Amino acid sequence: MSIITIDLRKRQLIYEQIVENVKLQIIRGVLCENDYMPSVRSLANELGINPNTIQKAYAELERQGIIQSVAGKGSIIVANAAVVNSMQNDHVTEQIRQIAKIVLEAGFDLEQFCDAAKSVFSCKEDENDRDKKYN
């Protein structure tokens, strides 16, 4: 099973989905610095998409400093902790931006948004406490 997934129903271009997916896998620690990426051909076969799409995604990842092509060996992840941290911050900020847009469209104000966020964190802390208690 591939660590990279795509959703053909999304409006986002496939190569952009691959780029975002690789970044997310780095953030999650699934892919790490010095790991080799699957070859263009093998990933294209696995995902059932055109190799040119994979090549375009890899070119974008290389442009962003996430991977580097190594002659005769393929592409290797070169993102260090600072790059991953920056990606993590960008990812979280974008998610918050999207949630804030939904909240604003629903007519909530900042205080209601903060209250809702606090209740989510409170529930998560309660779950963690329960897990610690029973483990």
Considering the chain, what is the average pLDDT of its residues? Answer: 87
Residues in the chain with pLDDT values less than 50: 134-135
For residue range 34-70, what is the model confidence (pLDDT) as tens digits?
999 999 999 999 999 999 999 999 999 999 999 999 9
> CA 8, CA 11: separation in Å to the nearest integer?
8
Q: How many CB atoms lie within 10 A of CB 95?
A: 10
pLDDT at 134: 46
Q: Judge residue 88's burial from the number of C-beta atoms within 10 Å of its C-beta, 0-12 exposed, 13-18 middle, 19 or more buried.
A: middle
pLDDT at 132: 52
Q: Model-level pTM?
A: 0.67
Strand 67-70 with 74-77, pairing: antiparallel
- Say which amino acid occupies 81: A
